[in-house]
Chains A and B, each alone.
Chain A
Amino acid sequence: MKLKNRLFAGVAACALMLGGTTAFANDHTGGAITVSYKDDVSTLDPAIGYDWQNWSMIKSLFDGLMDYAPGTTDLVTDLATSYAISDDGMTYTFKLKPGVKFHNGREMTAADVKFTLDRVVNPTTQSPGAGFFAAIDGFDAASAGEADGLSGVEAVDEMTVKISLSRPDATFLHVMALNFAHVVPKEVVEEHGADFGKHPVGTGAYKMTDWTLGQHVIFERNTDYHIDGLPKLDQITFEVGQEPIVALLRLERGEIDIAGDGIPPAKFLEVMGNPDLQANIVEGSQLHTGYITLNTQMEPFDNLKVRQAVNMAVNKDRIVRIINGRAVPANQPLPPLMPGYDEDYEGFNFDPDAAKALLAEAGFADGFTTELYVANTDPQPRIAQAIQQDLANIGIKAEIKSLAQANVIAAGGEKDQAPMIWSGGMAWIADFPDPSNFYGPILGCGGAVPGGWNWSWYCNAEIDERAIAADAMADPSQAEARIEAWKKIFTDIQDEAAWVPVFNEQRFTIRSSRLAGPEGIFVDPVHIPVHYDHVYISE
């Protein structure tokens, strides 16, 4: 097997870190900060945790073979020092960084990586991320509980892991950067069993020292961390049970440093208009698109012209105004931050007259009656009302079905239940920064199954084939061609108007004045919401 070192990404990231900003070069500065959240932390087990709150907490406690340069979507090595991909793209060999220790003092080895991957696909773990590892050889048997582990993962020696795939997968390095692949120590997992998430031990920049249920979780600096100078703080306290509006008051009074749940919508304009707080707010893009699904299997949305007409009828600027400008209007499924986003694509412009004409062409000159499903938490019903008015302007009477989020998700997963769904509150946010992650579950044939997330039930076999072909382009020399292929896939899908892409949400993090670090880490697209390892105190 001819091995190629793929260190360029790491080198590039280091160059960016060193040259781009001096902040990253700062050493440990010490001090303690407080972050507040409304809800209790659910779990800190990397195989299980899959929500907004614990995602970056887990990233600070654990490490994976791969990671992203702080504040960016650029892949870099983390626990791996290098990796090699075989010519056929079917085998990945990772060399591990020597001397990396878990919080319990034991050195991490290749056997831990194998244990971690075997564990995450084991059905008894109930990992929501098991499906991401489907390309690894032996996944079917392991995930069905018919085999002890993944036959495709081998600890070649103490510091080398070889992973064989059953099909080429260009997203595989991203998968290895997901929390689900973050390395855990076997002996601690076995000691705590299902409660490992309450007793997390990893190799991360911080170690958890206290968790008082319903009150707080405390992280302290891992003095043995394998990256020099990190983390910068001595301690982070995550307080829970604080309403976002109370958290904001406490932040203004200097009692907390980061309002984890962000700026409450009701206070957004006031906060943004307050000159004293301007320096405390960081705005950033995220890998998110909010959309209306049009069920292509239900009449009259099985008619392309009807779907196109709806796309032209929705006034996205007005919807963005409804949410106080916390987003940018969208014209395609991919968000601008995602590789493969087509800046030149125009999509369907807001044009009610043209929409009316299209409806007439489709045989609905007098419009029709339909239903628009929406989650019942603010501001979603208000957005649905705006959509309802826009549709009424071209003669479509949409009855709003405002339901609990779980019920909307259930309706979307039924083939003939929801003609239209406004995705607000449930919209797709990429698990990793690759266009592939925006296709399969929400626009591919695989997602158009009962209980799936492809709520427009759009299934185009030809596009599916192109998607599989794009993901088979695993050789880094094909990276550019692959992104081009995905770009075309998404604009072609949008031409078929299965969605009305409405907006891409922006993220606004509010922090105390004493916190410092490059702005990107406060709206990190991957370490959501904040890349805690790089935050420091400026005073």
Chain B
Amino acid sequence: MSAYLIRRILQAALILLGVSFITFTLLYLVPADPARQIAGRSATAQTVENIREQLGLNLPFYEQYWRYLTNLLQGDFGRSYLQKSEVGELIAARLPASLLLMVSAIFTELVFGVLIGVVAAIKRDSWLDKVLMVLSFVGVSAPQFVVGILLLYVFAVQLQWFPIGGYGTFAHLVLPSLTLGVLGAGWYSRMMRSSLIDVLTQDYIRTAKAKGMPSVRVIFRHALPNAFLPIIAMIGIDIGFFMSGIVVVESVFGWPGIGQLAWQAIQRIDIPIIMGVTLVSACAIVLGNLVADLVAPFVDPRIKLK
């Protein structure tokens, strides 16, 4: 187990190094001059040159990258060109909102997705199964922007049950979580259904049924835990996905998460923020997957970590 963990952590470090190199290279190649951006349109050539020198932008690529990397290892993500703040501070300020939305959205996905998936699997090929699968298909295909605006319009503008965007109270959390949850539930329900159908055809389920065990107990005691494995892997992926920022939903609902920060930085080509957010996202994806892999053996003892 510990050897496995060490190997995975080393792999993760390599992945992050690769991500940092690729992102740094791409941003280096963007034909925008950060010194000129900072200096503004009225700056003299000397001011631009001073800024370039102070930020080390006149150094060769490999020196700039090395500088970034060594600072990063000391926990320094650099300073935003346009927000004029430490990138670490900017990301840290938005982490709580992102985490809250992530937990809440995953919870919503799970509740709706598992419930729909189980019902559809049990009632396989019935009209209920078909209706639920059509609905889940709609959930999978509907753009977040459309669903977000729709929920906002109906529940916040027309019915006025919830605030129109913002952050701070439980009421603010409901609509963005629902938007993400409803859409994510589409994936979860389809996966849950096929996984459960697969498990329900296994011999041990037939045996349990033959022993006269009640159906509810068969499903919840024997089938569900075994059908749940792909869902756990999916949660791992979702953690990374949500932590890398849910740009559209965060923009629609004015949710102050990492996605919003990334979107603002991309629009203004604020390179240190883009780098910082990319690395934090990559970290979250790697960690999410690692956690999912570590949890799997507890759910299914047949899985051994090697």
Contact = CB atoms under 8 A, between A and B. Distances in A.
Given A40-B83, A214-B97, A215-B167, A130 B41 contact: no
Contacts of A129: 40, 42
Contacts of A409: 36
Interface in B67-105: 79, 82-85, 89-90, 93-94, 97
A269 interface: no
Given A131-B42, A214-B261, A253-B157, A407 B254 contact: no
A130 B166 contact: no
A194 B84 contact: yes
B85 A198 contact: yes
Interface string B37-54: 111111111111011001
Nearest to A406: B32
Interface in A34-60: 39-40, 42-43, 45, 48, 50
Given A123-B47, A213-B85, A215-B256, A246 B164 contact: yes
Interface stretch (A237-245, A349-357, A468-476): A237-245
Contacts of A250: 164-165
Nearest to B257: A214
A404 B269 contact: yes
B164 A255 contact: yes
Contacts, number: 128
Contacts of B254: 239, 241-243, 246
A367 interface: no
Contacts of A311: none
Given A48-B84, A194-B84, A250-B164, A143 B89 contact: no
Contacts of A441: 41-42
Contacts of B36: 409, 451
Among A39, A194, A246, A453, the most chain B Cβ lie within 10 Å of the Cβ of A246
Interface residues on A, range: 35 or more
Interface residues of B, number: 52
A239 B31 contact: no
A512 to B, nearest CB: 14
B255 interface: yes
Contacts of B54: 123-124, 126
A45 B85 CA distance: 12
Given A213-B85, A406-B269, A451 B41 contact: no
Interface in A222-272: 239-243, 246, 249-250, 253, 255
Given A130-B43, A214-B94, A239 B166 contact: yes
A134 interface: yes
Contact of B260 (A143, A214, A431): A214
A410 B32 contact: yes
A506 to B, nearest CB: 22
A431 B41 CA distance: 10
Contact of A42 (B48, B51, B83): B83
A214 B93 contact: yes
Nearest to B51: A126
Contacts of A42: 82-84
A440 to B, nearest CB: 9
A30 interface: no
A536 to B, nearest CB: 25
A410 B97 contact: no
Contacts of B38: 126, 128
A241 B255 contact: yes
Interface string B285-301: 00000000000000000
A132 interface: yes
Contacts of A215: 167-168, 256
A453 B94 contact: no
B85 A39 contact: no
A22 interface: no
6 contacts: A43-B83, A126-B38, A129-B42, A130-B44, A144-B46, A213-B94
Given A45-B84, A215-B168, A243-B254, 10 more contacts: A39-B264, A130-B47, A143-B47, A144-B46, A215-B256, A241-B256, A241-B260, A407-B31, A407-B32, A410-B33
Top 5 closest A-B pairs, CB basis? A128-B40, A406-B32, A214-B256, A213-B93, A43-B84
